[in-house]
Structure 1
Amino acid sequence: MMKKNILKYVLLSMTFFLGACNDFFNVETKNVLDHDGYITEESEMYSGYIGIMTKVQAIGDKVIYLTDTRGELLEPTKNAPSELYSIYNYDTDLTGNSYADPAAYYDVIIACNDYLSKLYDYKTENPAAINLDHYKALVSCTLRVKAWIYLTLGKIYGEAVWFNDPVREMKDLNDFPVKNLDEIVEGCLDLLTKGFDGIDGTNTMSWKEWLDPNTETAESTYRYWDYMTPEFFALYGELCLWHGDYQKTVNVILNTMNAKFASTVNDATQYMHNVKLTGTYSKIWDNTNPQPQETVSAIIYNYQGNQTNSLLKHFGTESPNEYLLAPSQVGMDRYTDPDFNPLGGATSDKRSTYYFAKDKSGNYVIQKYRPSNSTARTYAYQDDVHIYIYRGSELYFMLAEALNNLGRVTEASALINQGVNGSFPNGGVTWDGFTDDWTGASTLGTRRYPDLGIRGAFNLGNREFTRGDARANDEAILDEMMLEFPAEGKIYPTMVRMARRYNDPSIIADRVCPKYADPEAIRAKINAEVGGKAGYFVHWNLK
């Protein structure tokens, strides 16, 4: 089955469009280009990359169904197809399951490989015509997309077929190596550092500057396109976290955050978790565009251009949505359980009111992507919700996890609890790598809304951190992630990372199993090893 699907997608891997800029995202899979010459002039360099982005759009929501359905919160409704129940129940035979089929991920990789090859050929044949700065940026962006897709495959399946060369003919999958998760991480780090044609993954470009240079940024249709490619620092930092290179994670993420914070004292400083973010929290998802303060990278859609995902279909109850997945009572109860979520001076955790609601029939729904009072999406069929690849809050969690594993518990606790400003309200930050720009005493002047940490921004009590017990602290970070990222495809992969770090799948089972009618049966599946692979991965026969 897998072989057939990869070969099918090879035939579609050149779905790149050469029309006007406004048509770049209008996906028509029947418009297939001949791979022998689809880059024949400079404009096709850019339209070719946009073609890759159409394939990224197609897989944007897939990780949510494959991980969160098995995670601590979601459960299928009576409307859900048997395929979702099979994922939910940790079935190991998923043959023919359209949710579990990874072919669409490989479609992106095939497109990246072929694009890099043709881009190189065009540069070689047209050295005087090509814009080398843009060439380097397009190569870097493609490397980052490819690395992010491979990392995503590793998180979900625990393995992936690895290939770097263009696929131009039908080949048996046995011709390619299958790498396990550790090998995938190492391969992705190589992609970003060793790169292609002497170019690593750090180069960037502004799509707005190329496509729409004469329009003010705030008025340009293309001002959000740069979000579509995973940012190097976040992707590299996460890969280092999986690899156990904790200091590298701290360095690359902290350096970027410091630079952002040092550039402005704006109330909505990008990546900073402060009161300004709290006040606009629901708009992180319920808006027509990603929220700049919280956005690192995001996949954007426009239903008017036939760019959609299936989030509202799965979570919504209004027609034409199908209400396939719902929040479990166990998962929602964690927000009000003082043992799991110490409320401190707050009467409730406001985040839950943004995430969950009852519809008119009394069904609990995930409402974060379209609240009942939404002004961003008037109609239920407008399923163009943006999907965050990396959020600003996620930077806090990655930093905290890395710092904890470096023994820097005080800093890790501050990021999750009351923030850097909570320890240094008047500046004078002494923690290695942090600056006064996190505080009210910024180097640029007074910052009205300084960093308050993940919980401090909502006036919640402190989550306990313990010196000398890295695992307990990691689990505290994980528990807070469960409250911050429901139905975003981010929590379960972190469970997997920590279960592997401590060689203990109970880190997953203890949090996941309570939502099941037969928790011990699911625990046994999580603890099992099937075909040499851990039971908590999605099992798909690659051969």
Structure 2
Amino acid sequence: MAKIKNIRTIPAIISVILISVVTLSSCEDFLNPQQELYVTEDRLYSDWYEYRSVAMGMYGLAQNLAEQIVILGELRGDLLEITPNAEPELVEIHNFNISRTNRYASPTNFFKLIQASNNLIRLLEREQPQVLDPNVPVSNYDRLYGEALCMRAWAYFNAVQIYGKVPYIHESLVTMEEIEAFANSPVSYVDSVYIEFGLDGYYNDTIYNRPVELERNLYDTDMIINKFTKELETKIKAVGVNHYIDNQDESWGVTVWNTYAMHTLLGQMYLTKGDLLNARRNFERVIYHTSHDETRYQLDFTFGLHNWRNIFMGVDNREHILTIPFNKATFQQNEFQSLFNSWGPHTYQLKPTKNAIDFWETVWRTQIIARRTPPSRSEMSRIGQPTDFHRGFGHSYVYMRGSTPLDEQDYMNMINLRVLGDDVGSRNIMEGVDTVVFKYNIGKNVFDQDADFIIYRAADVHLFMAELMIYLRYTDQTTGSPTTDYRFALGYLNDGAFDQLRTSMNRSQLGVRGRVGIGLTLTWNGRITNRWDDDQIELDDIIYITDPYTNKIIGFKNFTGNLLAKQRYFVDQVLNERARELAFEGKRFYDLMRVANRRNDPSYLAGIVSSKYPAGQREEIYNLLLDPNNWYINYFE
């Protein structure tokens, strides 16, 4: 006897963004204004485009999660802090004292997305059963089914990172009222309109209602990862409806769940769990793809140097893997500009921390170390040039004096005075200046409020690969002993040299740091002119410690014979690079969680996060975060 919720007489209530798939001309028109759409089953099953319209609702619901994911992922980390203008809910998050009524802590938007995904998955499985048969040729229904499965897995994975444990929502619960009642029930919930069908199926006259008790199970991170990695690996035949056929706009392919986005999600879940081999397998499906476009997801000069800012100017499938677009023209807006900007009508409630600014301003290029024995005699023979100029000032952040931005010349004067040790002169330039997140303002007018929400992009995956490759070991063919090959990890991070280690590849790779001119000296057209400076991250036995503002050598670490120390040092550098590359994109706190959990060392996260607080509060936050339970919003326990 098949069991399914009776929705023939109860309309499938799905909050969607209704679109006309055939007539849209670009990804900016991907979604129309949000509305409630009541789709009867007779209407839904009559036309493929009705299915597609319902699926678009999932992306509208994902839009509603953008601010929540960014705020919870950044404000609880070390890169973002509150301003005096911050509303009480942001103050709660900043202080790790979050109430159940805090709208940024509410799981409701996750439940809505899971509900919409469940409904579409269930309807496709019932009305288009070929999606369950791997031997049937792939159709658009299979691709749509893959989108819904990925969206649901992504919603659960993000939710469990926030809440620590989340209730598994039974597919028979089709309204938000039912889901919220179930989620808030102590142990179990009675679904009073459950339907049991006779042998003749849906239209049999013998159907009857009977109450069914649904057990409320809370899934932790490992349970969510185990369930949904298995589901995505075994149930999906294809992902992502191809809209390019209709509108000749390839950017559409990365504004819906697609094969590359699915593999990135799988890789991220496996990496979080510590399954490095499966994480690598999925990330390599992105980097070493067989697409006709060999520049896609390769860190070449496409977004090199000053072009890095173009990543945020629009949707581009050479860097973007999955992006949720917004468009003011169709009333799809968010609060990023309002929260971050200090000019115009904006509220300026959040700003970069000093820690965040230092990540960019204390990175150095083109320095050369004169190495001597003993290492204490080594010195900088060439100091080099400070600041990550292509990702930092003017791109990820700006300095503002009132409503006037600090210009580039004053900025460089401040940096150079600091290098010379003239702190007084440097402070004079910065008198009355404050920091502002600028990444969501690139290419935007003051009233736009429609910056896109990038979920995954190429640099994200390359940095994931660097992080995991440092731990992977293989058997040396000569000695038969287990060993670690640092070259791949260093190549992803520094200069793209991992590409040279794969003779089958013929792509121009610059690495995450290299494409913005750190670790490589590039000409305006991306040509490499010098590889011999000491601004690459290295894994030598001797690692020199330098003053962050003058770049003078002030000490060294001796890692001789200490593989674990080298690995941890390298991962620290990867996370520093993720801060420079991905700041304010909602990833920082979960990066710190992942590494702290891998090391079984809560003090790692506690020390980094608490460092942004003033002295009187720093110890309090540090002690609070020594307990991993306090990393989560314990909403369901």
TM-score (norm 1): 0.82
CA contact (8 A) 2:131 2:145 kept: no
Question: CA–CA distance in 1 between the matches of 2:456 and 2:128?
Answer: 32
Residue in 2 that maps onto 1:366: 437
Deviation sequence 1:446-491 (CA, Å, 0-9, x none): x6xx212111223321224367123332222112212211101112
Match of 2:553 in 1: none
Aligned match of 1:251 in 281, 301, 313?
Answer: 281
2:233 corresponds to = 193
Opposite residue 466 of structure 2, the aligned amino acid is A
Cα shift readout 1:232-255 (whole Å, capped 9, x = no counterpart): 211111111122221122222224
Residues 1:496 and 2:593 are matched in the alignment: yes
> Within the alignment, does 1:393 sit opposite 2:431 as a pair?
no
List, as ranges, runs of 4+ consecutive aligned residues in structure 1 with deviation greater than 3 Å.
10-13, 16-24, 27-40, 124-127, 201-204, 262-265, 341-347, 464-467
How is 1:111-122 mapped onto 2 (pairs within 5 angstroms)?
A: 111-122=116-127
Deviation at 1:19, TM superposition (A): 5.9
Aligned to 1:462: 536
Counterpart for residue 203 of structure 1: 239
Q: 1:527 to 1:294 in 2, by over 3 A?
A: same
For residue 34 of structure 1, report the CA deviation from its aligned partner: 5.1
SS at match of 1:331: helix
Give the C-alpha shift of residue 40 in structure 1.
3.7
The C-alpha deviation readout for 1:180-200, integer Å capped at 9, x for no partner, is 1111111221220233xxxx2
- 1:281 is aligned to 2:308: yes
Matches within 5 A, 1:19-58: 20-21=20-21, 25-33=31-39, 38-58=44-64
| Counterpart residue number, 2:486 | 409
Q: Where do 5+ consecutive residues of structure 2 fail to align?
A: 1-9, 189-215, 368-383, 403-432, 473-483, 519-534, 541-561
Q: CA deviation at 1:399?
A: 0.8
> CA 1:319/1:48 → structure 2, altered by over 3 Å: closer, same or farther?
same
Matched, 1:299 2:324: yes
User: In structure 2, what is the equivalent of residue 179 of structure 1?
Assistant: 219
Alpha-carbon contact 1:25-1:50 (below 8 Å) kept? yes
Highest relative contact order (Cα 8 Å, sep 6+), 1 or 2? Answer: 1
Task: Map Cα deviations across residues 159-195 of structure 1 (whole Å, 9 max, x no partner).
Answer: 2111241313634333331111111111221220233
Q: CA deviation at 1:363?
A: 2.9
Partner of 2:510: 452
Change (3 A) 1:137 1:126: closer
Task: Check the 8 A contact 2:323/2:455 in 1, yes or no.
Answer: yes
| Structure 2 Cα separation of the partners of residues 410 and 17 of structure 1 | 47
Equivalenced residues, count = 482
C-alpha distance in structure 2 between counterparts of 1:63 and 1:126, whole Å: 31
The structure 2 residue matched to 1:290, chosen from 287, 293, 315, is 315
Work out the CA distance in 1 between the residues paired with 2:17 and 2:78.
41
Cα distance change of structure 1 residues 123 and 458 upon mapping to structure 2, 3 Å threshold: closer
C-alpha displacement of 1:26 = 2.2
The residue number in structure 2 matching 1:66 is 72
Contact 2:229–2:269 under 8 Å retained in 1: yes
Taking every aligned residue pair, what percent have the same amino acid on both sides?
22
Letter in 2 for 1:250: R
| Equivalent position amino acid for 1:363 in 2 | D
CA contact (8 A) 1:193 1:201 kept: no
1:153 to 154, 159, 176: 159
Q: CA deviation at 1:148?
A: 1.0
One-letter amino acid matched to 1:352: G
Measured at CA, do residues 84 and 471 of structure 1 come closer, stay the same or move farther in structure 2, by a change above 3 Å?
same
User: Cα–Cα, structure 1 residues 229 and 264, in superposed 2: closer, same or farther, change >3 Å?
Assistant: closer
Do the aligned residues in 1 keep the contact of 2:254 with 2:320 (CA within 8 Å)? no
1:322 lines up with 2:347 in the alignment: yes
Contact preservation (8 Å) 1:300, 1:387: yes
Residue 389 of structure 1 aligns with an amino acid whose one-letter code is: I
Q: Residues of 2 paired with 1:459 and 1:70: CA distance?
A: 30
Give the counterpart letter for 1:536 in structure 2.
W
Tell whether the 8 Å contact from 2:467 to 2:489 is kept in structure 1 after alignment.
Answer: yes
Would you say 1:311 and 2:336 are equivalent positions? Answer: yes
SS in 1 for 2:317: coil
Gaps of 5+ in 1: 1-9
**SS in structure 1 of the partner of residue 607 of structure 2:** helix
Match of 1:139 in 2: 145
Aligned partners of 2:303 and 2:309 also within 8 Å: no
- For residues 328 and 349 of structure 2, the distance between their equivalents in structure 1, rounded to whole angstroms, comes to 21
C-alpha contact 2:239 2:257 (8 A) present in aligned 1: no
Contact 2:462/2:493 (<8 A) preserved: yes
**Conserved in 2, the CA contact under 8 Å of 1:17 and 1:24?**
no
8 Å CA contact 1:301, 1:384 repeated in 2 = yes
| Distance in 1 separating the partners of 2:129 and 2:15 | 23
- The code of the aligned residue for 1:273 comes to L
Q: 2:271 aligns with which of 241, 249, 252?
A: 241
* Partner Cα separation in structure 1 for residue 226 and residue 353 of structure 2: 36
CA change 1:309–1:35 in 2 (3 A) is: farther
Contact 2:19–2:32 (CA<8 Å) still a contact in 1?
Answer: no
Q: Does 1:348 align with 2:387?
A: yes
Q: What amino acid sits opposite 2:454 in the alignment?
A: Y
- Select which of 603, 613, 620 maps to 1:521: 620
Query: Do the aligned partners of residues 476 and 11 (structure 1) sit closer, same or farther apart at CA in structure 2, a change above 3 Å counting?
Result: farther
**Residues of 2 paired with 1:37 and 1:244: CA distance?**
46
Calculate the TM-score normalised by the size of structure 2.
0.70
Aligned to 2:449: 383
Contact 1:105 1:153 in 2 (8 A): yes
The change in CA–CA distance for 1:346 and 1:417 in structure 2 (over 3 A counts) is farther
Which deviates further from its counterpart, 404-413 or 342-351?
Answer: 342-351
Cα separation, partners in 2 of 1:201 and 1:107, compared to 1, 3 Å: farther
Shift of 1:368: 1.4
Question: In structure 2, how many angstroms separate the alpha carbons of the residues matched to 1:380 and 1:89?
Answer: 30
- Read off the aligned partner of 2:486 and give its amino acid letter: V
**Which structure is larger by alpha-carbon Rg, 1 or 2?**
2
Deviations 1:356-388 (A, max 9, x none): 1123513310111214xxxx32x3221111111
Structure holding more strand per residue = 2
Q: 1:282 Cα shift? A: 0.7
Distance 1:20 1:203 in 2: 20
The one-letter code of the counterpart of 1:191 is E
**Cα separation, 2, equivalents of 1:363 and 1:537:** 31
- Residue identity opposite 2:309 in structure 1: S
Match of 1:336 in 2: 361
Is the alpha carbon distance of 1:360 and 1:225 closer, same or farther for their aligned partners in structure 2, counting shifts above 3 Å?
farther
Quote the offset at 1:50 in angstroms. 0.7
Q: Contact 2:165–2:219 at 8 Å: present in 1 too?
A: yes
Question: Partner of 2:289: helix, strand, or coil?
Answer: helix
Q: Contact between 1:465 and 1:476, CA under 8 Å: does it hold in 2?
A: no
Q: How far 1:435 sits from its partner (Å)?
A: 4.0
Name the SS for the 1:26 alignment partner.
coil
CA distance in 2, matches of 1:184, 1:157: 12
Distance 1:256 1:132, change over 3 A: closer
In 1, distance between residues paired with 2:303 and 2:463? 16
Q: Does the C-alpha gap of structure 1 residues 383 and 201 become closer, same or farther in structure 2, counting only changes over 3 Å?
A: farther
Structure 1 residues 343 and 310, CA gap change in structure 2 (3 angstroms): farther
RMSD value, Cα: 2.9
